[in-house]
Amino acid sequence: MRFIKGLEKINKKNFNQAGGKGANLGKMISAGLPVPGGFVVLTEAYQKFIEINNLEGKISDLLKEAEIKDTSILEDISEKIKSLFEKGEMPGEIKNEIEIAYREMGSPAVAVRSSATAEDLPGSSFAGQYDTFLNVTSQGDLLGYIKLCWASLWNGRAISYRLENNIHGLEISHGVVVQRLIDGEKSGILFTADPVSGRRDRMLLNSSWGLGEAIVGGEVTPDQWFVKKENGKIIKEGIQEKDVMTVRTDKGIELVPVPNQKIYTASLSKEEIEEVLNLGRTVEQYFGSPQDIEWTFADGKFYLVQTRPITSLFPPPKSPREKKGLRIHVNFSLVSQGMQEPLTPAGESLLKKMFLFPARLFDKRIKDQEDLWWFQAAGGRMFLDMTEALRKEK
């Protein structure tokens, strides 16, 4: 097929075709992780839809009115673009491929998820800005929701974020993941690094009853555990009042009351917590960076429905491999120079050059900037590795 690809056939080479979410799910399946099956409507389908319906010029004209800080204008533009997608005609060849792929799945209830090529890039995260639709149960509805996912590339928040980060929307494309819906008894989010403090030696686990939409939508405060990554030891636990949950019904997805006996009951046992943590460690190791993982639990099994890198963490200064163990870095930019704003790469290079001459007075072996291993840049700040100077052996 030209416009459709099974998730199990997606790999890292298909990022520009499948988008960030689709590519990550494909890699997780390749790694043997428990991911619900499905297929991706490739970005070529989005481009074909834009071309057939002559939308590029219309969208470009609407975007000329966009202003980053004027939410009312952005929302008005977004609604107009959404209307263009809803009224647009689905090309016959794309429609046929989608219907064939859906039938081959057995026509089950599915989740329809946006998967953009500008999603969760290094230094940027579009988490929560694009649309997802759950419990889609017919071919007709599936085609309609795929168009709505394409339209969500032009949500007001997404337009604003792209303008602010100088990412041009007309140059990016949108894939759509169609994934078997797991009717979760409980669901949640696992951060394999603490997104609040930035600590990479801790994980943050959230969990609540039902599907995960109640957590994502802020309808319920989930149970929460802070744990040590190395051994899973619980540092802090918070069992919350979970009075509502999202469930699948004949009408779609609905928010319903939680049974009384479950409101104050922990939604995960200690054994289940350890199982989720182990999955999180595996995902982080596979992708090579801290991850934000959405999971669900049904019929005694955990499923991972998506993962993305945590892009908000401050980058740690890098010490040489032989300098193992806990390292102490002091922010030279702030402490010594009072520089509160980040440096440019040119500024970082200049400071290192300035350090070369005095450093050579103390160590004749220093030849160039690469030898200044104790003077490292991270996040636009300069750090001094003070570990050796402050070390006191037991």
- Tell me: the pLDDT tens digits for 36-59? 999 999 999 999 999 999 998 998
150/271 same-domain check: no
Query: Is residue 43 one of the residues assigned to a domain?
Result: yes
Residues 22, 135 within the same domain: yes
Angle of the 43-52 helix axis to the 139-151 helix axis, nearest 10: 80
Evaluate if pTM is beyond 0.85: no
Q: Tell me: do 201 and 123 sit in the same domain.
A: no
Whether residue 262 sits in one domain with residue 158: no
Report the Cα–Cα distance between both ends of the chain, in Å, rounded. 66
Q: Is the pLDDT of residue 285 over 50?
A: yes
Is 301 found in the same domain as 194? Answer: yes
CATH of residue 70: 3.30.1490.20
- Amino acid 337 reads Q
Domain boundary among 116, 145, 180: 180
Residue 377's pLDDT is 87
> Per the structure, how many domains does the chain have?
3
Same domain assignment for residues 49 and 11: yes
Decide if pLDDT at 213 tops 50.
Answer: yes
Percent of residues, the chain, with pLDDT higher than 90: 55
pLDDT of residue 340: 79
Do both 341 and 305 map to the same domain?
no
Are 241 and 380 within one domain? no
Angle at 303 between CA 301 and CA 309, to 5 degrees: 145
- Please indicate whether residue 362 or residue 259 has the higher confidence score (pLDDT): 259
Residue 34 in any domain: the answer is yes
Angle at 314 between CA 312 and CA 320, to 5 degrees: 140
Q: Which of 119-133, 164-178, 367-381 has the lowest mean pLDDT?
A: 119-133
Minimum mean pLDDT range among 136-150, 156-170, 274-288, 304-318: 156-170
> Based on the domain organization, do 145 and 200 belong to the same domain?
no
Q: State yes or no: pLDDT of 25 exceeds 80.
A: yes
Domain boundary among the residues 180, 208, 223 is at 180
Residue among 22, 15, 18 at smallest CA distance from 306:
22
Express as a percent the part of the chain with pLDDT over 70.
95
- Same domain? For 29 and 133 the reply is yes
Cβ within 8 Å of residue 43, ≥6 positions away: 16, 17, 18, 19, 117, 173, 174, 175
- CA distances 75 to 41, 86, 115, Å, are 26, 16, 21
Predicted confidence at residue 123, as pLDDT, reads: 44
| Judgement on whether residues 158 and 15 belong to the same structural domain of the protein | yes
Residue 368 structural domain: 329-390
Residue 249 lies in a domain: yes
Q: Residue 263 — pLDDT band, cuts 50, 70, 90?
A: very high
- Nearest-10 crossing angle of helices 15-30, 43-52: 150
Task: Place 218 in a pLDDT band, splitting at 50, 70 and 90.
Answer: confident
Is residue 119 scored above 70 in pLDDT? no
Is pLDDT at 230 greater than 60 in this prediction?
Answer: yes
Domain end (from 180, 197, 232): 180
**Mean pLDDT on 198-211:** 94
Most confident of 116-130, 199-213, 243-257: 199-213
Residue in 213, 186, 214, 215 with CA at minimum distance from that of residue 297: 186
Which has more pLDDT, 302 or 69? Answer: 302
pLDDT value for 118: 66
Q: What is the CATH number of the domain that holds 237?
A: 3.30.470.20
Contact predicate 71/156, CB 8 Å: yes
Clarify whether residues 149 and 221 are in a common domain.
Answer: no
